[in-house]
Homo-oligomer: A and B are copies of this chain.
């Protein structure tokens, strides 16, 4: 039986990060990472293997950091457990002092009759599965995508580049409905429609048709759509099997129960990333948000705190920070949306700003930026930001995320120093975070 001081189960970004963090913190410990897949993929890059990236192999999460950090990589499946030991598929046993579960998530399967037919695909993080899926989608002409979240929208955008006839079916009233307010979802909808993609909102799939292989869907309004392939992108569910093997407490909806140091109910076993139950940093409510940003923070914290707590109160709950790009338009969201603020009865004011991301606006490459900020009306801290614009959105949303995580107030932001440059940002006079903040201040200031 092999023994490791630290055993990490799962080789996605969370597991990888935990391994590196553990190595940095505990240079002398023996560390291994067990992964089911021969080749690990970059999860958020998966939509791009269907269009922009030439081949699936361009989306590989490299193993070099494991080697460089002297972490043994065990490609195998965990099929059982006893005490501080896992049993692998080939019967081998590996024992540990400390274990980190980073088992990730799997596509949710909505209860639609016919969803188990051939020709219905899920966006799994498995290279063999995706290779088959890509081949089938390549030869398909008409594709129905069930779910208009990030994966569905990004995949539609990529497949449309290949000339496919795409329909997105979304049960809520716009695209990206759990991430953004409707006005931003509608902007995304407009970009998607401009690409010739058909979008049906407020619509559910009632049934997937076809004898053995799927050939279309029936909608809740009884309309039928023909489809050569169907992709289901209806969210992800935490992988709880290995936690359950260890008799660890789990919440079947939200994930493995952990304390704020990512410790499970079993001493010595931690859990991180998509498989873990998380709370919203504002409300404390459980949240289904699964994000690499959260998983990375988890991985670094668990890796640092395995033998004693070195980083105190490092994870204060999920501060959802997303970005995406559809066509040439980028979207970013950090913290709470207006919809979410309303739902939990947070008293808020909204600040808006519209400007361009170069100054003067006649410089090449200028895009419009549209900004919406949600402030607590009485605590005055920034609760959330939504932005739409050019590529600079990707890092701008991280600035907002840092502001939110620091609980900065409107008055502090109003006197903040921000760098600007004609070829790279908005004008200092029109800089969005400041101007949208002033707009919010004007709503409570008398």
A contact residues vs B (CB 8 Å cutoff): 13, 16-17, 21, 24-25, 42, 44-45, 47-48, 52-54, 58-61, 65, 291-297, 300-301, 304, 311, 314-315, 318-319, 321-325, 330, 332, 334, 359-360, 362-365, 391-399, 401-403, 405-406, 408, 411-412, 414-425, 427-429, 431, 434, 438, 441-442, 445
Distance in Å from the Cβ of A26 to the closest Cβ of chain B? 11
A365 neighbours in B (Cβ, 8 Å): 391
A393 neighbours in B (Cβ, 8 Å): 395, 424
Asked if B323 contacts A415 (CB within 8 A), the reply is no
- Known A53-B362, A300-B414, A406-B406; judge A323-B61 contact (CB<8 A): no
Distance in Å from the Cβ of A56 to the closest Cβ of chain B? 11
Rounded to whole angstroms, the CA-CA distance of A417 and B53 in the bound complex is 27
* A416 to B, closest residue via Cβ: B405
Copies in the assembly, this chain: 2
Asked if A60 contacts B360 (CB within 8 A), the reply is yes
A21 neighbours in B (Cβ, 8 Å): 438
Partner of A422, one of B42, B405, B412, B414: B42
Asked if B418 contacts A42 (CB within 8 A), the reply is no
A364 neighbours in B (Cβ, 8 Å): 52
Asked if A311 contacts B415 (CB within 8 A), the reply is yes
Given contacts A25-B445, A58-B360, A402-B406, 5 further A-B contacts (CB under 8 A): A13-B429, A58-B362, A304-B414, A319-B417, A321-B419
Write 22 A-B pairs (CB below 8 A) sorted by A numbering: A13-B429, A45-B359, A45-B363, A61-B429, A65-B429, A292-B428, A293-B428, A295-B428, A296-B429, A311-B411, A311-B414, A314-B411, A314-B412, A322-B421, A332-B419, A365-B391, A392-B394, A394-B395, A397-B419, A399-B402, A401-B418, A402-B408
Partner of A395, one of B60, B295, B392: B392
Partner of A425, one of B42, B362, B394, B417: B394
Asked if B52 contacts A418 (CB within 8 A), the reply is no
Asked if A52 contacts B325 (CB within 8 A), the reply is no
- Known A398-B396, A419-B398, A429-B17; judge A424-B291 contact (CB<8 A): no
Asked if B24 contacts A415 (CB within 8 A), the reply is no
Rounded to whole angstroms, the CA-CA distance of A259 and B330 in the bound complex is 42
A324 neighbours in B (Cβ, 8 Å): 421, 423-424
Distance in Å from the Cβ of A317 to the closest Cβ of chain B? 9
Give the interface centre of A292, A424, A441 by most chain B CB atoms within 10 Å: A424
Rounded to whole angstroms, the CA-CA distance of A314 and B438 in the bound complex is 15
* A54 to B, closest residue via Cβ: B362
Asked if B360 contacts A434 (CB within 8 A), the reply is no
Rounded to whole angstroms, the CA-CA distance of A146 and B290 in the bound complex is 54
A396 neighbours in B (Cβ, 8 Å): 395, 398
A362 neighbours in B (Cβ, 8 Å): 53-54, 58
* A46 to B, closest residue via Cβ: B422
Rounded to whole angstroms, the CA-CA distance of A428 and B59 in the bound complex is 14
Rounded to whole angstroms, the CA-CA distance of A85 and B181 in the bound complex is 51
A402 neighbours in B (Cβ, 8 Å): 399, 402-403, 406, 408, 416
Asked if B360 contacts A53 (CB within 8 A), the reply is yes
- Known A360-B60, A392-B395, A434-B296; judge A291-B321 contact (CB<8 A): no
